[in-house]
Structure 1
């Protein structure tokens, strides 16, 4: 199989590290990169040895957004019956949807500039850990482009409408640290410690039951769209199923026996 062209993949124990690898283009999302990200996410989902997925970038950017130059060139002239821009946007949206519903915990490790589609990609992950120098924003308005993968729909849910509209309307970037109190970024760490700190967090998560993590992620996602009473009923239904699992029995036995549990994910 031909190796990936625009991403690097490395498995470190139970953690998969996916590095966006177009540093000269500030890791802008191309058709090839989106297809590779979609495929590698699906591969990680199927691999029981992988329990956590980390996304980061090579060079000075996490991701500066979509490759507008490539999209513009492919859409220039008379498109005829084809719609290259529409096809590209479908590819981007499908890739991020795949990442968003991935049953395994995902972490965006922001090593640098994160804008527009890069911000949407980060928000498709469960956690966001940023380097001190990282700046984050939504630049769609700077180029007359409308967001299509969560910039206008998901960002207000994460940081509130007022803060989201500031980023959307101005196209400005903000230091990652300023977005911690708003709930977008979980932690900011020194640049030189980003990989080691994310690795510690990922390994700590990977030591937990894959089954309980998957079910927690499911109930959080589904419960947010429901009234509290309905979300609580959903939580109880999932618990009723979970209490018959191997992992809860193993976890309780390990607690009583004062040992480290050996979770299997079922």
Structure 2
């Protein structure tokens, strides 16, 4: 069994959001002291004893079967990302501290060769491992000048006022980042560096603590972000996140604009200023 506290908190949060009538349970007008499903109600829906579910939620049920995990996930109406996160919490990778993250030279050359498109490589804990000039210009931040521990998407979005101001809908961006980070925690909950990072972020940012306590989990492989730039105004970029086949902890992320759109014109304007500066 993995991190007992993390597992229990996640399951309680999912019980709390599900009303009995949504789960097909009848209510008889009694006053409920807690929101959502009680443990005995969830045990009934999952087809296990109350005692067994209590031990499961507390992380004390050893060798839990896939059938039980699936039954609990179904009873809680978990989506595909929440199911995967639950499985990670129950059966974690017990590898401790991970080796330092390295970007292959060929991948760095690929970033440098990409023209007119912001691109970067992100690693564990949303660390920025490599990027091209246009991505830094998009953020309007000299990433090379930052200490290595600050070259991190979470820290930049929550603690760097300039980067925070780049996102038109900052709350949406913040929620996405934290939900992805929690998904990653399920895989790396035994990594002390991950726990240290969470402690530092919680100490530095009340907004981070607020989003972290929401217990949201998801993975994002593509999507849209609405951005603003002092030279180009507001525009929208698509992103594609490509997991590297030889390192499951690294992804190549590329931003693009719809051809012929005002967003493409905005991106070209920013790119032209990068060329002028160079």
TM over 0.5: same fold?
A: no
TM (norm. structure 1) is 0.26
Select the structure that is richer in strand: 1
TM-score for both structures, normalised by structure 2: 0.25
Question: RCO greater where, 1 or 2, for CA within 8 Å and sep 6 or more?
Answer: 2
Please identify the structure whose Cα radius of gyration is greater.
2
